Structure 1
């Protein structure tokens, strides 16, 4: 990358002289100087960010005397990235201090993550948030209460509606979790047993979160053409937010599978119409053409999942159901693009496509899938999206960057770096400024993470310094656990978590409890 290309990428042609800033402090603990600063709200400029304690004390073009000065010439200086959809809760709760640092995130510049997505958030949100006091973590985190956890505790795995008394119990669990600091209610309506719910049940629970200032976060009921269809599932997510009286966030927005590829413009139009009508609707997206899920979720019809894994295994053994199962699983495989599009990423068949497993076992693909599922339900990477749809969603100003970080997928180690390298530098889908702001300021502002997502005096000092020439992912589908390159410095609450491209071992993250609407928790 030559100097002219780099200058154009950084937005330095005709760049601003920085925001109007108060006089710099007489001194600071740390000063980062000479880098191209993206504040989260302003045009880029070359200047200084000063930090004392856990706060930023100055952002501007003056020099500041500091106990330590980091030379960031040629680097990008940005707010720490915020990931609104992850599955790193187990890492944050690990007994291993290194795991709790979440190195895969720090080495991309991610300083804050949400957990409890897809309906899996624990019921005791206060306990989840309080754990950081006993087991220090490397990044900040917030949590959702999960619809799957709530329904599982009250209704179980059965395909039925809750009774009125059970619905009241579900509502009470959501209310308690919100009062314990949950950000809102998350759902994974595609997954059994959450998929057995009707919209009205979800609205009733989302309303409990809404009463307490929370958010509705949804892995929608159908991202493809499995049940209600992509368009109807988007309509449902918007309806739940509207009738539940709370902001609605669509998780990992996509058009999944051959039947719906090309529908991104229609889905975007639906969201834009809701926003134009005054509704608060956003989404997040990961920059990968393969989703991450399980082999069961990819292929097995929902009717066969009723009752959980024990019931599914019995159905596999029922000759009367064999033909129906094969037909429905074959249709699921067709929608995803065939056996060659399913890469198994864990277990005995790790690294093999379902087509390869079938060949090795000497079985048709569906029989091979059933044989694998009998052993366990492995995670898979499912290649099912078009680049045109990915780009169309990414260009929307209401779409944040989110990893959906889960086992065996390179999005854990490479999402933010890939979005920059492929979609900013190589494909020119979005600008560097858009990438930074939609990865920091947009989620911070929408989720009201006060003092986060911006570089400004008084804000928490969550910050990333990266080399625009080398910031890139190393993780691939075949080798998903490779740390990204190009991040030089990361600050979390003012403490250096990455220094000169290496982890320091500092665990400076904090739990970020949501503050309920005053009076909504009986106080």
Structure 2
């Protein structure tokens, strides 16, 4: 037991708090650093919804945006229009947002006008490739590669903490290992990290993990494996093989971390499951292919027989696909239903202009538990806040860890879990003053009750807020007080910290 003093947005004393203007009684509660969501899709939600209760109520004080190689900066008018269509299933089409930025720095400046929680940003490699050579499935020329390296360097100079990729998403998946290695060398020069959604979470998962380890070691770049799962029937019980690859890399001196969410299903857009050749040319070209019967038949064969690259090399099991959200309100009756066949999926994609979001019921509990125990593991929600029936991880990841996997199942001790959610991700982000309760550190803090903390979100009711988290402070200001959201917009962009020495 100890008092913690806070003043001016900083922790000013640990073990002494007398003489404070206000005292919060934390008897029976745990005081922890604010939780860091290492994989968030709140790129527009933070601008759209000032309260952002989905994350603030969980004790999240910092999110990492720009994930999976697809986000809204850097961009020009052409690519901004294309990216808004491509990831409308993640964030909506953005028709309610004033896109008054084009560069990474301008996007971070926009966040600095006032947001609910802090946010860091990864330069999205797919968006960068879109800017340099469009949607073509071919190697980049020397000139195009130089442009991409320049765009990545500029984003890092403007405050991004690293580079992300979505290597089952177009156009990022068209990049070769050699191209990615060159971009990672740029990232390494800025002491950032590479965060790939790698080339397969299904049939080729272990090869895909090994590819990323080899690539980043060659580039001398730190690696953070995004939503590091082992999904689909092919990978049941194979988490130990992934962790053996990870341990071997760590033994070689590699700088590697990972994140995961404490749930079995995944979530993405329905269009992401198509073979990559169907997306060459961009969203309008994809829709044209879907409308053509002969081409649609080829797409169906690739998905159902071959196992398309967008479907992780696994033939699609439509019974495992559930509609989580639609862009066109006239299609709302599909939400919550399983997709019966390709014909239904095709019709939805065309009518919804690719904006359909899905849940994939493909996970394995033993893999989830094994991966979260690893000492370089961190927490990431991968939370998609858009849609009528989003994955409950968006509202429940952090209390789910503390309530279910600590208190109920004992998979992690409380102390271990807090480290996974706070100090370890702060170290990955190279943040010198976050992630610990220490004098001089930022007063991003959460008080929770270890006996009652729990996620309220379920698959049937995914937007229910958690319980057992009465107080959350960001920069010393209450954003959650006595279990209620205040009107404070205490968050700002958290920009890359230059290497010292």
TM-score (norm 1): 0.84
After TM superposition, give the deviation of residue 517 of structure 1 in Å. Answer: 4.8
1:487 to 469, 472, 475: 469
After TM superposition, give the deviation of residue 130 of structure 1 in Å. Answer: 1.3
User: Partners of 1:314 and 1:337 in 2: how far apart?
Assistant: 22
Greater relative contact order structure (CA < 8 Å, 6+ sep) = 2
Other-structure match for 1:245? 220
Provide, for residues 426-475 of structure 1, a one-character-per-residue CA deviation record: whole Å limited to 9, x for no partner: 22111111111100000112221111010011111110001222211111
Identify unmatched segments of 5+ residues in structure 1.
1-45, 359-364
Which aligned pairs between 1:74-93 and structure 2 lie closer than 5 A? 74-93=28-47
Other-structure match for 2:256? 281
Which aligned pairs between 1:10-49 and structure 2 lie closer than 5 A? 46-49=1-4
Other-structure match for 1:330? 304
Other-structure match for 2:96? none
Other-structure match for 2:187? 209
User: Partners of 1:322 and 1:144 in 2: how far apart?
Assistant: 35
Other-structure match for 1:6? none
1:374 to 340, 350, 355: 350
Q: How many residues align?
A: 456
Change over 3 Å in CA distance of 1:48–1:346 after alignment to 2: same
| Larger deviation, residues 438-447 vs 331-340 | 331-340
Q: Helix, strand or coil for the counterpart of 1:100?
A: coil
After TM superposition, give the deviation of residue 353 of structure 1 in Å. Answer: 2.8
Which aligned pairs between 1:296-311 and structure 2 lie closer than 5 A? 296-298=271-273, 300-311=274-285
Other-structure match for 2:399? 417
Q: CA RMSD in A?
A: 1.9
Change over 3 Å in CA distance of 1:353–1:85 after alignment to 2: same
User: Partners of 1:138 and 1:310 in 2: how far apart?
Assistant: 35
User: Partners of 1:499 and 1:315 in 2: how far apart?
Assistant: 52
User: Partners of 2:172 and 2:325 in 1: how far apart?
Assistant: 25
User: Partners of 2:41 and 2:171 in 1: how far apart?
Assistant: 19
Q: Helix, strand or coil for the counterpart of 1:459?
A: coil
After TM superposition, give the deviation of residue 306 of structure 1 in Å. Answer: 2.4
After TM superposition, give the deviation of residue 385 of structure 1 in Å. Answer: 0.8
User: Partners of 2:415 and 2:316 in 1: how far apart?
Assistant: 35
Q: Is the 8 A contact 2:303 2:316 kept in 1?
A: no
User: Partners of 1:259 and 1:296 in 2: how far apart?
Assistant: 22
After TM superposition, give the deviation of residue 335 of structure 1 in Å. Answer: 3.8
User: Partners of 1:149 and 1:246 in 2: how far apart?
Assistant: 20
Which aligned pairs between 1:40-119 and structure 2 lie closer than 5 A? 46-60=1-15, 64-94=18-48, 99-119=49-69
Q: Helix, strand or coil for the counterpart of 1:392?
A: helix
User: Partners of 2:294 and 2:17 in 1: how far apart?
Assistant: 78
After TM superposition, give the deviation of residue 309 of structure 1 in Å. Answer: 2.9
Change over 3 Å in CA distance of 1:483–1:336 after alignment to 2: farther
Change over 3 Å in CA distance of 1:337–1:394 after alignment to 2: farther
After TM superposition, give the deviation of residue 383 of structure 1 in Å. Answer: 1.0
Other-structure match for 2:433? 451
Other-structure match for 2:442? 460
Q: Is the 8 A contact 2:479 2:487 kept in 1?
A: yes
After TM superposition, give the deviation of residue 107 of structure 1 in Å. Answer: 0.4
Change over 3 Å in CA distance of 1:238–1:497 after alignment to 2: same
Q: Is the 8 A contact 1:465 1:488 kept in 2?
A: yes
| Larger deviation, residues 268-277 vs 328-337 | 328-337
Other-structure match for 2:382? 404
After TM superposition, give the deviation of residue 319 of structure 1 in Å. Answer: 4.3
Other-structure match for 1:385? 363
Change over 3 Å in CA distance of 1:49–1:337 after alignment to 2: farther
2:288 to 310, 314, 317: 314
User: Partners of 1:395 and 1:137 in 2: how far apart?
Assistant: 32
After TM superposition, give the deviation of residue 297 of structure 1 in Å. Answer: 1.8
Identify unmatched segments of 5+ residues in structure 2.
75-102
TM-score (norm 2): 0.87
Other-structure match for 2:127? 149
User: Partners of 1:136 and 1:156 in 2: how far apart?
Assistant: 33
2:270 to 276, 291, 295: 295
Look at both structures and tell me which one has the larger radius of gyration over its CA atoms.
1
Which aligned pairs between 1:244-263 and structure 2 lie closer than 5 A? 244-263=219-238
Provide, for residues 14-42 of structure 1, a one-character-per-residue CA deviation record: whole Å limited to 9, x for no partner: xxxxxxxxxxxxxxxxxxxxxxxxxxxxx
Q: Helix, strand or coil for the counterpart of 2:471?
A: strand
Provide, for residues 200-248 of structure 1, a one-character-per-residue CA deviation record: whole Å limited to 9, x for no partner: 11111111111111111111111112xxx11111112112221221101
Other-structure match for 1:128? 107
